[in-house]
Amino acid sequence: MSKVITLLGDDISTDHIYPGRFMATVLPSETPQFCFADMTELNAALKAKQFPEGSFLVAGENFGCGSSREQAASTILGHNLNVVAKSFARIFMQNAVNLGLPLLICPDVDAKEGDELELRGDELYNKTTGKTFKIEPLPPLRQAIINAGGLIAFTRERVKAKLAAR
């Protein structure tokens, strides 16, 4: 069961996601503790593992704007969350793809905290309201990288396939 754990507005910056004062912490195993650190209730719930893996963060336009810190994507990935937004900032999107963080561009998404969401092909279905929303597909290569678990895993698979073909 994948539920919306929080609703975030437009222009959620990387500093909201992963505050700059924690930039000395870069290990993916350590960054999740600082996910939305300044949103104390959300941060505490994440650290207490109150949400099942695959839950959804739902945001507005320009999610991940601001600095290019990779930790913003890493910290969300560390909680095994999906991010649904009306749009993503370019650098955040590339960092998320490189790390294998599931992103869904859904310009018309309408959900509330606690709503149950389900992916159905290229649509997002809100089981709570019965509404369906079109997902804008990522370019095939970006989606393949996410599906592989990130750029390193994707590259590793391609190298292994080339070596096996020899």
Residue 143 has pLDDT above 80, yes or no: yes
Residue 123 has pLDDT above 80, yes or no: yes
Q: Work out the percent of the chain whose per-residue pLDDT is above 70.
A: 99
Please give the Cα distance from 116 to 3 (Å, whole number): 4
Please give the Cα distance from 28 to 26 (Å, whole number): 6
95-117 pLDDT, tens digit each: 999 999 999 999 999 999 999 99
Q: How confident is the model at residue 1 (pLDDT cuts 50, 70, 90)?
A: low
| Residues paired with residue 104 on neighbouring β-strands, in sequence order | 84
pTM of the entire structure? Answer: 0.92
Q: Domains of the chain by range and CATH? A: 2-136 (3.20.19.10)
Please give the Cα distance from 20 to 14 (Å, whole number): 8
Residue 24 has pLDDT above 90, yes or no: no
pLDDT at 27: 84
